[in-house]
């Protein structure tokens, strides 16, 4: 022990290595190597028993363009896009309200958002099953008010998946937007108003541009998890509205088609990386606009 300490004292680089190596080893072994195996498998073949046969083929990637799979990709993109758009439209006013209007209740309102955010994901989704069921609360309510005669099919629809996604990721959009709004210097807005700008103009010219980094982060926090989502379509989509996430799970766990499942995973990864690249560019553009 004492000799170890002596080494620690003498060699800073060794100390750096010592502090770093446990997490480095864990990340290399359990993240980097598995990712490379998936990449390698996406080019591999399959024997009649479904076992992976090492090799190099582009068959798996070619199968992606089959008419069965193209709609799944488009659907995932579409629903992730709508989720992001609606989340932002709802999250921005909420963040704005908390940052500028709520005054001393701001911290309470923020804490309130943490409650659904921290509640178990599966519990949150089962709450929506209670609401959207054939005999669920929404149908009962509509029937009691004589708006409809027959219960509507709400569960297992595209709309149900969209509502589930919004419910899951709305808090993730509120937090970053609030953080960027909250850091705006109020004297900038006062100056704009003193110079005769209407509140709306002040918002367009000052608040909105200064909150862009938060807005862009919110896009990333909502879009990335929505495009790879699995649980929500599985529970609320009734197995009918298949998205990329469901496709991957089905290919791996049910069809045991690991090479094709790997190819789909690699493509999903590429989508996300393109998203992140846009995020970086957007952030840089926002920085430049500010200066």
Partner 1 sequence: MSIRIAQVQKNPMRTILVRIQNIIGTQFVTALTILAYLFLFTPLIILIIYSFNASHSTAVWSGFSINWYGVLFKDRYIFNALRNSLIVAGSAALISTVLGTFAALVLVRRQFKGKAIFSTLMLSPLVLPEIVLGVAFLVFMVFLNIRLGYFSLIMAHIILTLPYSTLIVRASANGLDRALEEAAADLGADEVKVFRYITLPLLVSGIMAAFLLTFTISLDDFVMSMFTAGVGTTTLPLQIFSLLKVGITPEINALGTVLIIFNVALVLLIGGQQLRRVMGGAAA
CA distance 183 to 189: 12
Q: Would you count residue 167 as binding partner 1 (CB under 8 A)?
A: yes
Tell me: does residue 61 bind partner 1 (CB under 8 A).
no
Q: Which is nearer to partner 1, 206 or 227 (CB)?
A: 227
DSSP-derived letter for residue 120 is: -
Distance CA 173, CA 176 (A): 6
Please report whether residue 183 would count as binding partner 1 according to CB under 8 A. Answer: no
* Ranges within 255-284 binding partner 1 (CB under 8 A): 258, 261-262, 265, 268-269, 272, 276
Minimum CB separation from partner 1 for residue 185, in Å? 20
**Residue 99 DSSP one-character state:** I
Q: How many residues does the chain have?
A: 291
The reply to whether 142 sits near partner 1 by the rule CB under 8 A is no
Query: What part of residues 194-213 is at the interface with partner 1 (CB under 8 A)?
Result: 196, 198-200, 203
Task: Identify the residue among 125, 142, 152, 283 touching partner 1 (CB under 8 A).
Answer: 125
Is 34 a residue that touches partner 1 (CB under 8 A)?
yes
* Alpha-helical segments (H) within the chain: 2-10, 12-27, 33-41, 59-63, 70-96, 106-118, 121-132, 137-144, 158-182, 186-194, 199-202, 208-210, 212-227, 231-236, 244-249, 258-290
**CA–CA gap between residue 151 and residue 136 (Å, rounded):** 9
Region binding partner 1 by CB under 8 A among candidate stretches 60-68, 177-185, 242-250, 282-290: 242-250
For the bound state, the minimum distance from the C-beta of residue 6 to partner 1, rounded and expressed in Å, comes to 10
Closest approach of partner 1 to the CB of residue 290, in Å: 22
* Structure-token match 């005769």, residue found: 196
The answer to whether 42 contacts partner 1 (rule: CB under 8 A) is: no
Q: What are phi and psi of 52, to 5 degrees?
A: -75, 130
What's the angle, vertex CA 251, arms to CA 126 and CA 47, rounded to 5? 160
Q: Is position 126 an interface residue for partner 1 (rule: CB under 8 A)?
A: yes
Find out whether 138 and 151 touch, Cβ atoms under 8 Å: no
User: Smallest distance, Å, CB 232 to partner 1?
Assistant: 11
Q: In the bound complex, what is the minimum distance in angstroms from residue 16's beta carbon to partner 1?
A: 5
Spatial separation of the C-alpha atoms in residues 242 and 246, rounded to whole Å: 6
Among 16, 58, 70, 255, binds partner 1 (CB under 8 A): 16
Asked if 232 is part of the footprint of partner 1 (rule: CB under 8 A), the reply reads no
**Contact letters for partner 1, residues 81-120 (x by CB under 8 A):** ---------xx-xx-xxx--x--xx-xxx-xxxxxx-xxx
Record the tokens describing residue 202, joined without a space: 């002040």
CB closer to partner 1, 218 vs 224: 224
């Amino acid at each position: 022990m004492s000799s170890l300490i002596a080494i620690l004292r003498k060699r800073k680089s060794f100390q750096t290595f010592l502090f770093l190596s446990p997490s480095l080893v864990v990340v290399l072994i359990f993240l980097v190597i598995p990712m490379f195996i998936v990449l390698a498998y996406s080019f591999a073949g399959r024997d009649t028993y479904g076992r992976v046969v090492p090799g190099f083929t582009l068959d798996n990637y070619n199968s992606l363009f089959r008419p069965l799979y193209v709609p799944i990709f488009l659907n995932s993109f579409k629903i992730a896009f709508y989720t992001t758009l609606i989340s932002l439209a709802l999250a921005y006013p909420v963040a704005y309200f908390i940052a500028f209007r709520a005054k001393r209740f701001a911290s309470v309102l923020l804490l309130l958002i943490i409650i659904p955010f921290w509640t178990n994901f599966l519990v949150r989704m089962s709450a929506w099953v209670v609401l959207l069921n054939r005999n669920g609360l929404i149908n009962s309510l509509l029937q009691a008010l004589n708006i409809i005669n027959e219960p509507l099919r709400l569960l297992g629809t595209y709309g149900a998946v969209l509502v589930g996604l919004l419910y899951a990721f709305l808090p993730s959009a509120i937090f970053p937007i609030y953080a960027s709004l909250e850091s705006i210097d109020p004297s900038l807005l006062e100056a704009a108003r003193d110079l005769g700008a209407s509140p709306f103009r002040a918002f367009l010219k000052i608040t909105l541009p200064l909150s862009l980094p938060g807005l862009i982060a919110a896009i990333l926090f909502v879009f990335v998890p929505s495009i790879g989502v699995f649980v929500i379509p599985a529970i609320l989509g009734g197995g009918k509205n298949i998205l990329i996430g469901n496709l991957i799970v089905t290919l791996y766990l049910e069809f045991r088609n690991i090479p094709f499942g790997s190819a789909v995973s690699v493509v999903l990864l590429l989508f996300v990386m393109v998203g992140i690249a846009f995020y970086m560019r957007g952030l840089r553009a926002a920085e430049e606009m500010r200066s």
